[in-house]
Structure 1
Amino acid sequence: MPRSLRVLAPALLLAATLAFLVVGLSIGGAAAERTLADPGTIVRYGVPIARTIVNVAMAGLIGSVVMAVWALASDRPEMRVALDVAAGSAAVLTVASAATLIFTYVDVSGLPFSGDASFGAGLAQFVTEIELGQLWFIELLLAATTTVLAFAVRERRLTLLVLIAALATTLPLAQQGHAAGASGHSQAVNSLLVHLIGAAVWLGGLLTLVFVAFTVDRKRLAVLSGRYSSLALLAFIGVAASGVVSAWLRVGSIDALFGTGYGILVVLKTVALLALGTFGAVQRTWLIPRIADSVRGQRAFIWFITAELAVMGIASGVAGALGRTATPVALEPARDQGGKISPAEWLTGDPLPPELTPSSYFTEWKFDLAWALVCVFGLLFYFAAVIRLRRRGDRWPIGRTIPWALGIAGLFYTTNGALNAYEQYLFSVHMLAHMMLTMLIPLLLVLGAPVTLTLRAVEKRTDGSWGGREWIMWAVQTPYSKFITHPAVTAVVFAGSLWIFYFTPIARWAASEHLGHQWMIIHFLIAGYLFSLSMIGIDPVPYRFPYPLRLVTLFATMASHAFFGVTIMTGNGLMLADWYGAMGRTWGATPLEDQSTGGGIAWGIGELPTLALALVVAVQWSRSDTKEQKRKDRFADRSGEAELHAYNEMLAAQAKRDARTTRS
């Protein structure tokens, strides 16, 4: 195998990226000289080039760490190679982020680059007061932190920290892709986040595979290629779906798709994506099975994925040009576009939805691609595991599959349906969504026993790498897991989160900021899941309360929820008055009346899942007693009532001693 491919593969990737970046800038007109305040040729090309290098370096970082965490063995050179790729990519990401920050400042300020104090003062103001500068400065800090971790970490479990830090570098870039306050901001940011992560895993994983290929034999390469192929398939689905959503939000019409520079670039990127999908299909169905057969098959595979990297470079270059090209649909916030807008649109970026009626719960939708994919994958993986068990001859109770499916359906509706469409405008709808996320959906998901299903369905790895089974086995045994799954801790978090969230500035942050809203969904899902797991879960946890204490805990949390609901219902002051009270609604209840309704939901509807939990605990307690009694009966049958005879003999001996003591 020619060692020159180690240089040729990344060189082809970089060359194709830069070449099609220049072509894309020409097609979209982003590199053309500006009539007013032109920053110069160096800046016009420097900004997109530096930004594109950021994207490619981030892909190398995330893809290599994902491969290290999920596909590679820690006791083989392949892990070291992947972590070296991650460290080098993180270093390039840091330098490219710094360059992009400076180029961007020069571009938006119109000031030439210099080393004097005024330039430094302006740059400092840019990174502290202007949102774009703040995001690039955060990106620089995250990249630098990830670089330190990537160079320092060489232990398998600690690579999770590198992965978390690497994924965090996508957040500032996703925030930049759609202006805060612009219409469809939350959907666009989540869609772009899916796109960035999917493309990074796809491109970076393939680049890592090229470097690793020179350290393993043919059979091992076939195994690693199969694992990468599974990741690439998921990434392709995410990239394709998010690309469609992002393109539609920015293009807006078929005419703009073929009649504008931005639309033509979208078409070019779509062609590259389809070509990459074809590469993946050929690789998965034809090339990977032939790797282990001969050296020729291995060589063909390496050359094939080198060509695939070149096509990925084309897609990356076009994507970089898209980021600098004016979109047919304006992405500026409505408040900055001039004209009269409603208070709701001023606050949220989206127009006020129609009046909420009973039929609206079925007809109004606000789709979120990220959560939709979470639900689709969660359902498909669960069903695939059940099917694998059945093919192996094992059974999985339908009574667990149905709750899981209902829980996923509830999560999909809450994050994509009418609750998502109205929760920003009505406190009562927000509270209903909150109760779904923290009480009903977690209860159903816990009854599905996903951890137990995974441990039964996923095969144990024996090659020194960790897959889903190994990571789960490690996770449930860590001291942190023992702490957060302890019933006392889960109960405090479950009940206390309500009070802390709604009576601190966190509620305002979650209402007005996209990141805060996503944090709210994730936090309350996890808090509700861990509480339900500690009360009625089938999946293994280090410790659970005895059944009587579980019921006491449940009734205590019910009391806390009831007190919380009554507090909101009877309150005379409006919570988040500058948000829910400033929407300018002309339909429905007044904000204070709507808040009272929300309190009633927290008190009444919110208690129903807790009562269901209590009933399940009572049933489990009864079954536990029945099982224990049957166990004792079976033991007595096997021992011929030996235990009972021994007990009677002990009582008789004690009676004789008492009699002798009385006579004496």
Structure 2
Amino acid sequence: MVRPSPTDADAPTTPGPRRPSTAGAVLSQTLPGAVVAAVVALALTALSGAETYARLGLPDPGPVVTYGLPVVRALSESAAVVTVGALLLAAFLVPPPGPGRLAVDGYRAVRIASWTATVWAAGAVLTGVLAIADAFARPLSVVLTTSTFTESLQGLPAARIWFLTAGVALCCAILCRLALSWATAVGAFALAVLGLLPAAFGGHSGTGSSHDLAMSSLALHVVAAAVWIGGLVAVLVHATVHGAHLPTALHRFSTTAFWCWVVLALSGTVNALLRVNAADVLTSTYGLLLLAKVAGLVVLGVFGAAHRTRTLPDVEGGSRAALVRLGGVEVLIMFATVGVAVALGRTPPPEMTAPLPSRAEAVLGYSLDGPLDLPGLVTDARPDLVLGTLAVAAALAYVAGVRNLRRHGETWPVGRTVSWLVGCAVLLVATSSGLARYAPAQFSLHMAQQVLVMVVVAPAWVLGRPGVLLASVRPAAPDGPPGPVEWIAGLRRSSAGRALASPVVATVVLVATGWLLDVGGLFDALVGDHVGHLTMTVWALAAGCVFARGVLDASVPPSLRVGMVVVAAVAQAGLAVTVSTSARVIGGAYWDRLGPAYVDRAADQVAGGLVLGCALVPLLALLVAVRPRPDVQVSQ
């Protein structure tokens, strides 16, 4: 043991600056914004609350419901965006100290998210209760003392949406409390983003003409807003408690915020064009609220530019004061826009004169004039704002990566580029052409869409080896913070990543997808709305990628990969026969509600079975790639 010297003992000590507590930092950055959101929502709802019930011919349920619902919803959504932002910081903004580990600041952010997700869940439950009273236009006391509450869970989509949101938020809170690894934080972030979607798919965007486009645009809008607002709050809390790697976190968030601003502007424009005529913008409450959101977005864009030109250099120089001051004002404006958005959701859009919709238009959001023909693949195109945009963005990003390599004198195999671009083109056709317009109305065309995505797009993308391209374009610095390449590798090393890499699991995922949907009854449960169609397509793409990656991984013995293809092909052939010969019309209740009259459902189901049989061709074609050749090894 070494004794301290008298000199050391007598030396004066100068304590460093005291760091604010985590709880104090969180409250100082979130509580004023949440209050602003609630006050704005309350004030703006007061302008149109009576109008909402009068337009629907309903009595006024009283001030507790009329004004309590927007306030509670604003507070709940404020907690939601803070949860998303905290998990964004933990997963992607603050570098972890090692593979699979959470940084100290990341662990603190996950713990913050566990508390805010709990508040989010509680707020969603209360919002659901108030939504029931709002739907019946009855005081809250009446709803809580009758059987209306339990009966409404089956008959009111708004109530189910909020209770579903509460369940997802509660699961997110529990996962955050248990999270000790970086991969778990990523999973919690994905779950939090998923929890935003039920509320986004409800409201005005879920009804009326073109509601498929409105729902997709609003989903993108809500996610982008949550990542932007929540991310800024998380960065400000991180700066307030003097967290490490602040310049890295701020640089990463600055890039994320820019793209969120772009998505907000584009998706908001699409949603506005679908909901209000230009002539009604200045003459309706709904239009004025839209203008308020536009003004807020412009102001926030100016703040973003100021961050890039002023606060980033200051932070790199060691000063956090400008970031905290400017960011604090920006957060208040952001939360004010949350309040405007809540009030907008409570305000009926101006009536748009339109003829009485057909049965198909009422269900799908658009009309179907007749059966799909070959020219209709182009002339009847219906863009998918989620997957269609993904196809275009993936193609542009890949081409940009290849060009970057060539500018630096490196080469990239043409075959990989062609494969990736073919996959993007097929995805665009499957989700945004006339085929996508008619797929929700005909079983055979729906099967064609799923087959193209699962066994054409997915293998083409895997053969494009985007992970290797990313590693070539942005190689990791030995002493630099982990980036996207390390993130991908970390997810592959996680428990879920290793499980999905198993040949058995990959084969089961692919086979179970078709059988559970078409024979197990999931198709009947999901086919009824746009969200269900989108879910089936996304799941088909993910299952196809998992399977193709296993088949094309040269580290797996060739005999095992051949076995994967054979099992999948036999199961697909059995599924095709089962669907073609089934006496039960799959999705019969939905087809009866939809029409159209020109479709023979029994014959169309037989055709759908034949389409499923056609999937054997690309499946068996994978056998060509099952060779012990390093060129096709999927190691990234």
Common fold: TM-score over 0.5: yes
* In 1: Cα distance, 2:630 partner to 2:223 partner: 46
Looking at structure 2, the residues matched to 60 and 451 of structure 1 have their Cα atoms a distance apart, in angstroms, of 31
Residue 360 of structure 1: how far off its partner (Å) = 0.2
Match of 2:315 among 284, 291, 314: 291
CA deviation profile, 1:488-512 (whole Å, cap 9, x unmatched): 4433443453333212211212321
From 71, 75, 81, give the equivalent of 1:53.
75
Q: Is the 8 A contact 1:428 1:598 kept in 2?
A: yes
Q: 1:598 aligns with which of 598, 608, 625?
A: 608
Gap change, CA 1:46 and 1:526, over 3 Å in 2: same
Deviations 1:267-292 (A, max 9, x none): 11011112212221232244313322
- The C-alpha deviation readout for 1:528-559, integer Å capped at 9, x for no partner, is 22222222357xxxx4232x564465355445
Which of 396, 415, 418 is residue 399 of structure 1 equivalent to?
Answer: 415
Distance 1:5 1:391, change over 3 A: farther
Q: 1:68 to 1:120 in 2, by over 3 A?
A: farther
Structure 2 match to 1:305: 327
Indicate the residue corresponding to 2:139 in structure 1.
112
Question: Partner of 1:355: helix, strand, or coil?
Answer: coil
Q: Distance in 1 between matches of 2:41 and 2:392?
A: 34
Give the aligned residue type for 1:211.
V
Show the 5 A alignment for 1:51-90. 51-74=73-96, 77-90=104-117
Paired amino acid for 1:585: P
Partner SS, residue 454 of structure 2: helix
Structure 1 distance, partners of 2:29, 2:46, is 26
2:447 to 406, 420, 431: 431
Taking the aligned partners of 2:219 and 2:313, their CA distance within structure 1 comes to: 33
Which residue type is aligned with residue 609 of structure 2?
Answer: G
- Corresponding letter in the other structure for 1:590: D
Pick the aligned partner of 1:533 from 549, 552, 572.
549
Q: Could you say which residue in structure 1 is the equivalent of 2:212?
A: 186
Deviation at 1:5, TM superposition (A): 8.1
Per-residue deviation, 1:224: 1.3
Code of the aligned partner of 1:615: V
Kept in 2, the 8 Å contact 1:427–1:580? The answer is no
Show the counterpart of 1:245: 270
Where do residues 202-601 of structure 1 align in structure 2 (5 Å cutoff)? Answer: 202-216=228-242, 220-251=245-276, 253-293=277-317, 295=319, 298-329=320-351, 342-345=358-361, 347-348=363-364, 350-460=366-476, 466-537=482-553, 543-546=555-558, 550-551=561-562, 553-555=564-566, 557-569=568-580, 574-580=585-591, 583-587=594-598, 590-601=600-611
SS of corresponding position for 1:255:
helix
Change (3 A) 1:462 1:583: same
Cα distance in 1 for partners of 2:59, 2:583 equals 54
- 1:515 positional shift: 4.0
Q: Are the equivalent residues in 1 in contact too, given 2:289–2:344 (CA < 8 A)?
A: yes
How many residue pairs get aligned? The number is 604
CA contact (8 A) 1:347 1:579 kept: no
Deviation track 1:360-393 (CA, whole Å, cap 9, x = no partner) reads 0111122222223323442344344434444555
Between 548-557 and 199-208, the greater mean CA deviation after superposition: 548-557
| Letter paired with 1:238 | V
1:458 is displaced (CA, Å) by 3.5
C-alpha separation in 2, matches of 1:153 and 1:163? 11
Say yes or no: does 1:614 pair with 2:623.
yes
SS at 1:158 equivalent: helix
Q: Secondary structure at the match of 2:338?
A: helix
Q: CA deviation at 1:128?
A: 4.8
Report the Cα distance in structure 1 between the residues aligned to 2:366 and 2:53, rounded to whole angstroms. 34
* Structure whose alpha-carbon radius of gyration is higher: 1
**Alpha-carbon distance between aligned partners in 1 of 2:365 and 2:286, rounded to the nearest angstrom:** 23
Name the CA distance, whole Å, in 1 between partners of 2:378 and 2:441. Answer: 18
Q: Determine helix, strand or coil for the equivalent of 1:258.
A: coil
- 1:208 deviation in Å? 1.0
1:560-591 CA-to-partner distances (Å, cap 9, x unmatched) read 4345435544566644333446644344x633
**C-alpha distance 464-95 of structure 1, shift in aligned 2 (>3 A):** farther
- Contact 1:440–1:609 (CA<8 Å) still a contact in 2? yes
Alpha-carbon distance between aligned partners in 2 of 1:438 and 1:50, rounded to the nearest angstrom: 42
Amino acid in the other structure paired with 1:138: L
Confirm or deny: 8 A CA contact 1:461 1:467 kept in the other structure. Answer: no
Distance (whole Å) between structure 2 residues aligned to residue 364 and residue 574 of structure 1: 27
SS at match of 2:145: helix
SS in 2 for 1:169: helix
Cα distance in 2 for partners of 1:611, 1:176 equals 42
| Change beyond 3 A, Cα 1:402–1:58 | same
Q: What is the CA deviation profile of residues 75-108 of structure 1, one whole-angstrom value per residue up to 9, with x for unaligned ones? A: 6553244234323322332332233233333333
After superposition, the C-alpha distances for 1:453-479 in whole angstroms (9 at most, x for unaligned) are: 233333437789653222321222345
Deviation at 1:483, TM superposition (A): 3.6
Cα deviations by residue, 1:125-175 (Å, 9 ceiling, x for unpaired): 333543222222222233333333334434433223422332232132123
Distance 1:6 1:530 in 2: 39
- 1:439 Cα deviation from its structure 2 partner: 0.9
Percent identity over paired residues: 27
The 1:521–1:304 alpha-carbon spacing in structure 2 relative to 1, beyond 3 Å, is same
- In structure 2, relative to structure 1, the CA distance for the partners of 1:565 and 1:479 (3 Å cut) is same
SS in 1 for 2:347: coil
Alpha-carbon displacement from aligned partner over 1:189-245 (angstroms, at most 9, x marks no partner): 33222222111110011011111102337x932221101112212222222222122
Q: Letter of the 1:14 partner, please give it.
A: A
Counterpart in the other structure of 2:40 = 20
Distance 1:304 1:507, change over 3 A: same
Paired AA for residue 286 in structure 2: Y
Which runs of no fewer than 5 residues in structure 1 stay unpaired? 626-664
Structure 1 residues 455 and 328: alpha-carbon distance in aligned structure 2, compared to 1, 3 A threshold: same
Do residues 197 (structure 1) and 219 (structure 2) align?
Answer: no
Q: Does structure 2 conserve the Cα–Cα contact (< 8 Å) formed by 1:446 and 1:537?
A: no
Q: Distance in 2 between matches of 1:461 and 1:157?
A: 21
Aligned Cα root-mean-square deviation (Å): 3.4
TM-score for both structures, normalised by structure 2: 0.85
Equivalent position amino acid for 1:17 in 2: A
CA distance in 2, matches of 1:549, 1:80: 40
Pairwise CA distance, 1:22: 4.1
Cα deviation for residue 358 of structure 1 reads 1.0
Equivalents in 2 of 1:77, 1:566: separation in Å? 55
Cα 1:586–1:214 change in 2 (3 A) is closer
